[in-house]
Amino acid sequence: MTEEKGGTGQPCRPVPAGKEGRSNQLAVETFMPMMVEAFHDGLQEVGSLSRWLLATLVAINGAAAITLLPLKMPAVAKLGGAGAFLIGILAALGAGLWSLYAFKRVSIAAETMLAYWLTVADDGPRLQALEATMKQHFDQAIGSRGTHVFVFASVTAFLVGCAVAAWGMISQGGVQ
């Protein structure tokens, strides 16, 4: 059954057929605003946290590398510590780049979800398998392991750099 456009007999769009059409419309009216708001809020929070984390990791590794310069210790310890801190800086930058990649994936998933729900709003069928797949892609993009690995590498490099610097200071007799 279709509606007529201005009484001309031309079909405008399908009229929801029974219970499924009303259910789809209710689902869209319920989930679309929630999805948009959650996506927007999540992006703002993740973006803010990512910026702070990236800045902190770069700052602590950079400050630690600079702090090594005036210390009296063997050159091998200075170079080892500075190298570890440099790796920490590069890993933090890698985390930032990986986050951008993950954001791109989230944006693509969001575009697909939005198109799907707009189709459902126009009385398109709900596809449970597609909904599950989109949720899985969203979860993978948001909980990106790559970013976690880079952050872990940056923190580990910082700790290794601190340990090498401490060893250098102790071996030189710089710590009393």
Residues of the chain with pLDDT under 50: 1-17, 176
Alpha-carbon distances, residue 136 vs 32, 36, 96 (angstroms): 18, 17, 23
- The pLDDT, as a whole number, for residue 155 is 94
- The pLDDT, as a whole number, for residue 107 is 74
- The pLDDT, as a whole number, for residue 143 is 62
The C-alpha atoms of residue 144 and residue 130 are separated, in whole angstroms, by 21
Q: Which residue has the tokens 């057929």?
A: 17
Half-sphere exposure of residue 12, counting CA atoms within 13 Å on the CB side?
8
Quick check: 62 and 89 in contact, CB under 8 A? yes
The C-alpha atoms of residue 150 and residue 93 are separated, in whole angstroms, by 8
Residue type, 135: K
| Domain boundaries defined on the chain | 19-172
> E strands along the chain, which residues?
2-4, 11-14
- The pLDDT, as a whole number, for residue 130 is 79
- The pLDDT, as a whole number, for residue 142 is 63
The C-alpha atoms of residue 157 and residue 154 are separated, in whole angstroms, by 5
- The pLDDT, as a whole number, for residue 49 is 76
